[in-house]
Amino acid sequence: MPEGRAQRPRRSLEAVEVHGAGQLMPHHVHEILLVSSLYDSFTLSEDGKLSDLIMSEFLDMNLRHTPGVTQVSTGREALQLARANPRFNLIITSLQVGDMDSLELARRVKELRLNIPVILLAYDNRELTQFMAANDTSDLERAFLWQGNAKILLGIVKYVEDRLNLSHDTGEIGVPAIIVVEDNVRYYSAFLPMLFTELMNHARDLIPDGLNLAHKIRRIRARPKILLCSTYEEAVSFFDRYPDDILGVISDIEFPRNGKLSHTAGGDLARHVRSIREDVPVILQSSLTKNQELADEVGSSFLLKGSPLMLNQLRRTLQHDLGFGDFSFRMPDGREIGRAGNLRSLAQQIREAPDDSMVFHGEHNHFSRWLKVRTEFALAEQLRAVRISDFPSVGAMRDYLAGVIDVYRRERNQGVVVDFKRENYDASAQFYRIGGGSLGGKARGLAFINHLLAEFKAADRFPGVTITVPDTVVLGSDVFDTFLDRNNLRDFAISCDDQDEIMETFHRSPFPEDTLLDLATYLKAADYPLAVRSSSLLEDSQYQPFAGVYETYMLPNRGTDLNHRLEQLVSAIKRVYASTYSIHTKRYIKATPYRLEEEKMAVAIQRIIGDHHGSRFYPHFSGVARSHNYYPAEPCTTEDGVAAVALGLGETVVSGENCVRFSPRYPKHLMQFATTEDLLEHSQKTFWALELEEDHISISGVPALSEGGPETNIRLAKFGLEQAEKDGTLASVGSTWSAENDVVYDGTSRPGMRMVTFAPILKHQLFPLAEILDYLLEIGKKGTSSPVEIEFAVNMNTVDGGSREFGFLQIRPLALAPEVEEVDVDSIPRSDQVCQSTSVLGHGLVEGIRDLVVVDYHRFDRSKSLPAARRVGQLNSMLVKEDRPYILIGVGRWGSADPWLGIPVAWDEISGVRVIVEAGFKDFKVTPSQGTHFFQNLSSCNVGYFTVNPDAGDGYIDWDWLSSTPAVDETDSVRHLRFEEPLLVGMNGKKSAGFICKPKR
């Protein structure tokens, strides 16, 4: 962009919402306390019941917050109620309220520090004028005059809200405001409701531009504010505070200045405004036609008060001067040459309009103002900073403006959930929803990522890589409800224990017709393989990880027969629905505080990231990354996170097969690949892909799905690396082992055995994977305020040289065990602890362990470590058979290859262990072993791992207690202890600290 002026950083409306704190209109009038005599209230409700009246006004305006009204007839009652219920945040009172007058009420409210604005609503202008003239009314927020139009209530409420929200909405976010200067109560009591109504109508007209309900509400809330002032000083102070955000000034001509009525105040104000912001329009109004001249003199428009055409005049003024309605392209002489009703047509006409017109609008800042009125604050701000003089030519300005608007339009469509409309579906947005209700946990996560990416403008952050949420359509939970209710399936599904019967019944039941039509429309444009994923209400909830309880189905979605594809899709959706009632789920839910009746299922239908390679379809690689790593190894810390990646579909990672693990902050430090043997043993040998060959698996819809069984992801197939090499996908992640030299070479340029190491990416900058993951984990943490786990897939698209795609598939807050953080290790008496360490891997509380296998410090002889290892192995197989997890405590390194340094057990000899403790021996200190096998198994089995060196002052272990506790089995130094009461293990992964408590006696 050309060198502009310094500008306040502004966020788009959507951005404002993401950041919670920036919610527009934080203050709302919830409950109105109406204090009026019986007579007055009778007057008020002449047209019907007052609250109904208000309700209808507000509903008509499409407002979400409809305030409640409570009527009392005395000041005393009013004060009592206001004190008792903090929801009352507006008091509207008539002049006299039985026991006191409105002034006294206002004064008392202030004295009680209730912080509720008190508005005087008078019924008689003469009475009011006398009252105002005779009293100091500064305790009253403002006075209004009832003139038989219930819209006055709307005006009062909006007036109060605008005042309260001004500093937040306008000051911080930049919502524009219109200053109205008028000291005549009667006049502004009529004018204000009219103006508000116009603004609301305008905001409503903008709605077709908004995309979904949340978006719509935001637009309405972002309508310009109205600042009603009665004096010159008040008006000037508002203007001077928010000069950038004042859309215009509508002012009376005669009103008080310096405490006295001034005949020139309007003109002076206009001049003041002009001197600071030349482009801010000032509209003067007066009941005297002669004042037209004054208006002309100061370059203002003029409105004649009391004119029968007042409303039309006002509308015209709003459009012409303040930029409401369509944008009107004009020549400098005022001749209209074109109109633009939305951003697209604005950009288009900017490209076509004559130079003179462009200069005219540019000089007067019309584009920015118009955008601001349309609540496009970020764009408005961007354009405001631009001056014609910044550009070498009008053409350059034209290109710049149109370009900026286009970019903005594209970005605005990112990160939004768009309601699916059959009539105009064009697949242009990334995220659609069909049907109402909840999106469910998973889809909400997806929508959130979509949002996050747009908010942080992550899409283009890494050159040559597009970061996206793969195109998604979500069936809201209402579709699920409709399907169940129309087919009467709910009770049946909950009570039926036969999974197959549920599945079959669901398949037989017709799918809602309307949704079917939507899906057909969607499929016409979607000719790529699809993942049909469950998205239940309870899924991915932070403390109830339902992740993986429900099903995901992959569909080839191939072939020209739309009906056939639709049939498959619907069948998969029904399967997901049915899985809500699977035995597995029923059992799972029993263990949670939820009830199955509460569960609802939305379904996310998502494009699968990948490419066709012959009959196979798969991404170059997939993976999972976590922002926290509870098994960190030097130089990584817990906070550096950890990622696991594999060639092909993510199945490899998710099912715990061999894959590459690394910390996004240290992608070149791979724990698992220290030696060639490690590499051979722990690297990926096969990969998963979707097999799309028609004759490979029957695709006759339902039967094929049934054959797959509910636990099978149909059409998934495994291939060897030689296939990946042929497909050209291995080169980006492969290395080569030379048996002759026993060396693993990065890349696939040499002959030898291929293996997956990700070296070309992690070591040789083929793709900024580590940087992207680090970045996404960081924004994920910011966005959710908690540690997160993300799933992703990457398509390198090497065949046609197109852009590389990083698909962001899932985000989940990582379930932390908060209770451990609250346990203060030092508060537990040492005599109650078996062991305490500040070098612990793992996280969480482990309860219910009653078995302990210990290689006893006092009995152990280093030359007898082999028999000790075998004995541990025997005890392990016994304990595994009995399904009794145990704690293993020993001296030296567990799993040491060197029998002199510890107990040389293999992993399968301690497979049932839940917590491992390794302690320093008499003459040597242990360092955490983290042998590759161990490391891998520890983290995947979530085993706790304590290292203690009491002699070096590092940690504590009660060898004497372990030694003196009677054993159920004792062979040389290996002792098996069993307890009636469980031991308690606590680990804090963030602090790497932990303890083991002795059983309670």
Partner 1 sequence: MSDFVKSLMADVTAKNEAQPEFHQAVEEVAGSVQVVLDRHPEYRSNKILERIIEPERVLMFRVPWVNDQGEVQINRGFRIEMNSAIGPYKGGLRFHPSVNLGILKFLAFEQVFKNALTTLPMGGGKGGSDFDPKGKSDQEVMRFCQSFMTELQRHIGPNTDVPAGDIGVGGREIGFLFGQYKRLRNEFTGVLTGKGLNWGGSLIRPEATGYGAVYFAAEMLKTRSDSLQGKTCLVSGSGNVAQYATEKINELGGKVVTLSDSGGYIYDPEGIDAEKLAWVMDLKNVRRGRMSEYSGQFKSATYTEVDRSLDHNPLWAHKADCAFPSATQNEVNAVDAKNLLAGGVFVFSEGANMPTTQDGVDQFLDKGILYGPGKAANAGGVAVSGLEMSQNSLRMSWSREEVDGHLKRIMTDIHQNCVTTAERFGMKGNYVAGANIAGFLKVADAMTDQGVV
> Which residues contact partner 1 by CB under 8 A?
633-635, 666, 668-671, 674-676, 680-681, 683, 685-686, 720, 738-744, 753, 763, 862-863, 866, 873-874, 876-878, 896-898, 900-901, 906, 908-909, 923, 927, 930, 932
Q: How many CB atoms lie within 10 A of CB 260?
A: 7
Closest approach of Cβ 947 to partner 1, in Å? 13
Least Å distance, CB 632 to partner 1, is: 10
DSSP letters spanning 368-423: HHHHHHTT-HHHHHHHHT--GGGSSSHHHHHHHHHHHHHHHHHHHHTT-EEEP-GG
Whether 942 contacts 960, CB under 8 Å: no
Q: Of the two residues 113 and 881, which places its CB atom closer to partner 1 in the complex? A: 881
- Can you tell me the distance from the alpha carbon of 439 to that of 457, in angstroms, rounded to the nearest whole number? 24
Query: Look-up: residue for tokens 């360490």?
Result: 837
Nearer to partner 1 (CB atom), residue 319 or residue 686: 686
- What distance lies between CA 276 and its chain's CA centroid? 40
- Of 219 and 682, the one with the shorter C-beta distance to partner 1 is 682
For the CB of residue 727, give the shortest distance to partner 1 in the complex, in Å: 18
Instruction: Decide: 713 and 554 in contact? Cβ < 8 Å.
Output: yes
For partner 1, the closer of residues 571 and 658 by Cβ is 658
Kindly state the smallest distance separating residue 840's Cβ from partner 1, in Å. Answer: 18
The Cα–Cα gap between 368 and 356 comes to 18
Residue 952, token pair as written in the block: 């070096």
Please give the angle made by the CA atoms of 804, 805 and 808, to the nearest 5 degrees: 155
Minimum separation from the CB atom of position 733 to partner 1 (A): 17
Q: How far is the CB of 665 from partner 1 (least distance, A)?
A: 10
Closest separation between CB of residue 770 and partner 1, Å? Answer: 12
CA distance 702 to 575: 10
State the minimum distance, in angstroms, from the CB of residue 856 to partner 1: 19
Beta strands 177-181 and 225-229, pairing class: parallel
CB of 932 to partner 1, least distance (A): 7
Of the two residues 95 and 762, which places its CB atom closer to partner 1 in the complex? 762
Encoded amino acid at 11, one letter: R
Which residues make Cβ contacts (< 8 Å) with residue 226, sequence separation at least 6?
158, 159, 162, 177, 178, 180, 192, 195, 196, 199
Angle at 495 between CA 493 and CA 501, to 5 degrees: 50
**Residue pair 751/762 in contact by the 8 Å Cβ criterion:** no
CB 689 within 8 A of CB 617: yes
Whether the ω angle into residue 635 lies within 30 degrees of 0, i.e. cis, is: yes
Q: How far is the CB of 963 from partner 1 (least distance, A)?
A: 23
Compare residues 453 and 762 and give the one whose CB is closer to partner 1: 762
Q: Which CB atom, from 62 or from 676, has the smaller least distance to partner 1?
A: 676
Q: How far is the CB of 623 from partner 1 (least distance, A)?
A: 19
Q: How far apart are CA 175 and CA 377, in angstroms?
A: 7
Q: Are 814 and 638 in contact (CB under 8 A)?
A: no
Q: Is 842 helix (H, G, I), strand (E, B) or coil?
A: coil
Compare residues 519 and 773 and give the one whose CB is closer to partner 1.
Answer: 773
Helical packing angle, 394-413 and 355-363, nearest 10°: 70
CA distance 527 to 545: 33
The residue among 45 and 686 lying less far from partner 1, judged by its C-beta, is: 686
What's the min distance (Å) between Cβ of 743 and partner 1? 3
- Residue whose CB is less far from partner 1, 368 or 947: 947
Contacts of 508 (CB under 8 A, 6+ apart): none
Closer by beta carbon to partner 1, 586 or else 685: 685
Burial of 952 (0-12, 13-18, 19+ CB in 10 A): exposed
Task: Confirm if 654 and 792 have CB atoms less than 8 A apart.
Answer: no
Minimum Å gap between C-beta 870 and partner 1 is: 8
Rounded least distance, CB 860 to partner 1, Å: 13
Q: Is 10 or 763 the residue whose CB approaches partner 1 more closely?
A: 763
Choice between 213 and 739, CB closer to partner 1:
739
Q: Looking at beta carbons only, is 43 or 738 nearer to partner 1?
A: 738
Query: Strand 282-286 to strand 246-252: parallel, antiparallel, or no bridges (unpaired)?
Result: parallel
